[in-house]
Amino acid sequence: MTAPQAPARPMPHVLNTYGRLPIALTHGQGCRVWDTNGKRYLDGLGGIAVNTLGHAHPRLVAALQDQVAKLIHCSNYYEVPLQEQLAAKLCEISGLSGAFFCSTGLEANEAALKLARKFGHDKGIERPEIIVYEKAFHGRSIATLSATGNPKVQAGFGPLVEGFVRVPLNDLAAVERVARENPNVVAVFLETIQGEGGINPSRADYLQGLRALCDRQDWLLMLDEVQCGIGRTGKWFAHQWAGVVPDVMPLAKGLGSGVPIGAVVCGPKAVDIFGPGNHGTTFGGNPLAMRAGVETLRIMEEDGLLAHAASVGARLSGGLKQGLEGVAGVVEIRGAGLMIGIELDRPCGVILQQAADAGLMLSVTADRVIRLVPPLVLSADEADEIVRILVPIVRAFLAA
Ligand SMILES: Cc1ncc(COP(=O)(O)O)c(C=O)c1O
């Protein structure tokens, strides 16, 4: 008897973890990318909020080529001056005090969760708990998927990590209730703007309320800025619009413009929680990734990309709002700067392929939200082009 055949898959050596489009990209320039057939796309996705400076930015390319030729990796057994340089810059722009470097967003969040637990243990709380959120996304390791508020991400991976209390976003009374009832809470952990959950911003007054509550309760305020940070909203960090300062801020994605990098940046309350031996990683903080971070932030500053992200983002969301005004089935267009979500009243995954056919890269998240997180170098003309391509696609999809 022959063994049952596994269903045929197009790429049998790569595990089947993504629903991929049948497109393979070969190269890019600015906000344009090309595929193996020579077809050109406008990049409204930026590698999911990663390619801050677009593709093949000449100053970044030159810096990375220089670094590759000098030193890519050397291990954390030695001093890495570029770590000091990047940490100093991150502290300057955030008002925080120190950084630990890793390579991805989930690692930055793992570090944050460990910081919170040790913060609790250090003050005598044996079973520390962390407040997390409905619709949150923090990564796909066992701890970060446990903190994530999406049953689809968690399904099949139980038992989940314990020690999380979940609340709805923007409901301060819910957090106050937890504060009254649960003496083991040590931290509040949320994305300043939820990304994978459908581009859901925390309100400014909510963040201010959380800051005050965390101060009163001696909790850590931990803001995951992995997706919404690094200039995307028009300030270095999205929480800066609310005038609050977190105690712990995980970063990744846009910080290296495409080179894998993560960081957890800590304020005075968190900067001394870890001591030698408490945390580590082989790749984190290597000279190549650090150079990418230093140069990304330098170029962003030199080229005024914060103000640019705010203005071109306003132009893009304004154009989308105008083009989709009064269209039945459009629930809301929201976000900040170049982090924009168009919520529809129905699942709209098919729009991915339709947009790609029309030469536009984007993503659909939380089933019903079209997400645009393009490179921050998107020009005004390119923003208008996104509107010109996307509006008719959405209108036709909703009319069908
Ligand atoms: C807010 C947020 N946190 C964490 C992560 C996980 O980052 P990574 O995929 O680099 O592990 C993501 C990824 O989408 C994210 O959006």
Per-residue pLDDT of the chain (400 residues; tens, 9 = 90+): 445 554 555 667 999 999 999 999 999 999 999 999 999 999 999 999 999 999 999 999 999 999 999 999 999 999 999 999 999 999 999 999 999 999 999 999 999 999 999 999 999 999 999 999 999 999 999 999 999 999 999 999 999 999 999 999 999 999 999 999 999 999 999 999 999 999 999 999 999 999 999 999 999 999 999 999 999 999 999 999 999 999 999 999 999 999 999 999 999 999 999 999 999 999 999 999 999 999 999 999 999 999 999 999 999 999 999 999 999 999 999 999 999 999 999 999 999 999 999 999 999 999 999 999 999 999 999 999 999 999 999 999 999 9
355 lines ligand 1 (CB under 6 A): no
pLDDT for the residue numbered 8: 54
**Strands 164-167 and 129-133: what pairing?**
parallel
Q: DSSP alpha helices (H): ranges in the chain?
A: 46-49, 58-70, 81-94, 105-122, 142-147, 151-154, 172-181, 204-217, 287-302, 305-324, 351-357, 380-399
Cis upstream peptide for 159 (omega within 30°)? yes
Residue 226 Cα to ligand 1 midpoint, Å, equals 6
109 lines ligand 1 (CB under 6 A): yes
User: What atom of ligand 1 comes closest to residue 106's alpha carbon?
Assistant: 11
**Strands 330-336 and 339-344: what pairing?**
antiparallel
Q: Rounded to the nearest 5 degrees, what angle is found at the Cα of 239, between the Cα atoms of 48 and 106?
A: 45
Q: How many residues does the chain have?
A: 400
pLDDT for the residue numbered 12: 72
105 lines ligand 1 (CB under 6 A): yes
211 lines ligand 1 (CB under 6 A): no
Active site residues: 137, 224, 253
Site to probe by mutation for ligand 1, drawn from 141, 191, 227, 255 as the one with most ligand atoms within 8 Å of Cβ, is: 227
pLDDT for the residue numbered 226: 98
How does 358-394 read in b/e, with b if 16+ C-beta sit within 10 Å?
Answer: eebbbbbbbebbbbbbbbbbbeeebbebbbebbbebb
pLDDT for the residue numbered 252: 98
Cβ neighbours around 1 below 10 Å, total: 3
pLDDT for the residue numbered 1: 44
pLDDT for the residue numbered 11: 63
Indicate the pTM of the whole model.
0.97
